Amino acid sequence: MNKTKISFLLATVVMSFFFSCSSDESTPTVAEPSAIMAAMTIDAANNFDLQTGIEVSTNNSTTKKSTAETCATISVENTTTAYPKTFIVDFGTGCTVNQITRKGKLKITITAPVIDTGAKMTIERVDYSINNLKLEGSIEYTNTTTDAKVPQWTRKVTNGKFTNGNGNLFLNSGSYTVKQTAGVDTPYLLTDNVYEMTEGKHVVTDHNGNNVTLTVKIPLIKKYSCAFISQGQLQIESGLFNGTVNYGNNDCDSDYTFTLNNGFVFNLKM
């Protein structure tokens, strides 16, 4: 579930606005701009890597290959056993899709098909970066379905670390609940899937101890066939810089808004 290209660009747009307008007394001030930028980027990166994990584990092949979707070389470590199964997604020294360059490896381990209740998928980052932003830690994706008609997963970030372009380190953790609301009858066909992130939050802490919290305010809607989150709201809390990201009215487009609590609105797009 991601709005990857926009999320990576959002921080730059917002930061440029505030610094260029800092002499205007009517312009809100930013308490922890680098932490806010890190929080937005980390959330997008987690969603981006989770999408890769779902693609790779659903295409449960034991053949070494390179895919157009990931531009990576994919191999399976333990081909003699059914499960657990470990995939290595190797981006090498860098490969680019849709202006996003990834380097290093993702190690993806599944205990069973991700559509099975109780199955767990763990995504570990190995010397890994996105657009030269270093990411560490793992994402645990566990099937917690109780009603077969509404598959459900929890997504938990463990030992998350993010290093920005200036070498600043940010710690991060969090958990989300994700439900599948369409495409349930075709479990191995991904293109008709629709996901809804119903609740959860992500917390980012910088080296000064400042926290940025991203919380689901209105469930986020992500169609597998669309590159963008198409609906829902995300609450951002960070000192004086508090507001809401609104992803729109379920259209597959790059438009969205960021509204500060004082009513100041940014209309943004990719």
What pLDDT sits at residue 16? 40
What pLDDT sits at residue 200? 94
What pLDDT sits at residue 9? 44
Q: Using CB atoms within 10 A of its CB, is residue 73 exposed (0-12), middle (13-18) or buried (19+)?
A: middle
57 pLDDT band, cuts 50/70/90, is confident
pLDDT in tens, 164-180: 888 999 999 999 999 99
Domain of 207 in residue numbering reads as 4-268
Mean pLDDT of 108-119: 94
Integer CA distances (angstroms), 24 to 13, 21, 171, 226, 264, in order: 17, 6, 33, 38, 14
Give me the phi and psi of 37, to 5 degrees please. -60, -45
Identity (one letter) of the amino acid at 143?
N
What pLDDT sits at residue 33? 59
Give me the phi and psi of 47, to 5 degrees please. -65, -40
pLDDT at position 8 over 60: no
Q: For the chain, give the percent of residues with pLDDT over 70.
A: 82
- The pTM of this model reads 0.80
Looking at the structure of the chain, the number of domains it has is: 1
Q: Is the peptide bond before 84 cis (omega within 30 degrees of 0)?
A: yes
